[in-house]
């Protein structure tokens, strides 16, 4: 992997967006376990942690006042407010990791995706869809984290959010998690190959010329 990492130079940025309850966290973790040098960019949020979430692993949980100060200082690459809570990704954290050649996954909504696309060259956008809105409703109810009122708000938000999926580069329907993981892995591998295409070609052409000369037929 070392030679390929040198060819890539700067890391790739993959933006994953999906309605809440679609299973993107499970999907991302599954792909990261099987792909080397793929890292998760941890976002900041003002909401309280859920029972299965860990500080510094799933999110950085901060107060609204601290979040606002970070906004005023221009620290965020992107940030958005969703159902009364704010979420953001810092520019410093992304720039530092990408400059080291690390490929990053950003779990952000469509608002944030647009900001990242404007500020980071060659961002790869991937949208995750549930099989249906009814399937999404069942998943939200089953996970037991939200009241019926919040579930209705999430479903309404999901329907509106899906209208933005058309400008993403890739679309994955998460009907079976194993199949969805394989599709996400395929996208990452394909984009890595595309990224290093020109450098590999140039390297092979130089090797050819060194051994056979420019006019060899």
pTM recorded for the entire structure: 0.82
Q: Could you tell me the residue range of the domain that residue 15 belongs to?
A: 2-212
Reading the chain (217 residues) residue by residue, the pLDDT tens digits are: 444 444 447 899 999 999 988 999 899 999 999 998 899 999 999 999 988 888 988 899 999 999 999 999 999 999 988 888 999 999 998 998 898 888 999 999 998 999 999 989 889 999 999 999 899 999 899 887 788 898 998 898 888 888 899 999 999 999 999 999 999 999 999 999 988 877 777 777 777 777 766 665 5
Q: What single-letter DSSP state applies at residue 11?
A: P
Please give the Cα distance from 79 to 44 (Å, whole number). Answer: 9
Give, for 15, the enclosing helix (H) or strand (E): strand 13-17
Buried b (16+ CB within 10 A) or exposed e, 154-190: bbeebeebbebbeebebebebeeeeebbebbbebbee
Residue 217 in domain: no
Does residue 144 fall inside a structural domain? Answer: yes
How many domains does the chain divide into?
1
Q: What is the CATH number of the domain that holds 185?
A: 3.40.50.300
Would you state the pLDDT for residue 37?
86
Q: Which residues sit opposite 33 in a β-bridge?
A: none
């Amino acid at each position: 992997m070392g030679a390929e990492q040198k060819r890539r130079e700067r890391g790739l940025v993959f933006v994953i967006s999906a309605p809440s309850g679609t299973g993107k966290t499970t999907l991302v973790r599954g792909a990261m376990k099987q792909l080397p040098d793929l890292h998760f960019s941890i976002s900041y949020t003002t909401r309280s942690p859920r029972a299965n979430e860990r500080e510094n692993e799933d999110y950085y949980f901060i107060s609204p006042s601290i979040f606002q100060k970070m906004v005023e200082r221009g620290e965020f690459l992107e940030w958005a407010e969703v159902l009364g809570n704010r979420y953001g990704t810092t520019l410093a954290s992304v720039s530092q990791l990408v400059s080291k050649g690390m490929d990053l996954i950003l779990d952000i909504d469509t608002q944030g995706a647009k900001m990242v696309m404007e500020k980071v060259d060659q961002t790869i956008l991937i949208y995750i869809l549930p099989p249906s809105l009814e399937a999404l409703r069942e998943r939200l109810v089953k996970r037991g984290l939200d009241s019926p009122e919040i579930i209705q708000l999430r479903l309404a938000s999901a329907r509106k959010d899906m209208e933005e999926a058309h400008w993403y580069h890739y679309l994955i329907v998460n009907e079976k998690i194993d199949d969805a993981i394989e599709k996400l892995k395929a996208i990452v591998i394909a984009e890595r190959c595309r990224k290093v295409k020109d450098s590999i070609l140039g390297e092979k052409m130089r090797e050819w010329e060194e051994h056979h000369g420019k006019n060899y037929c």
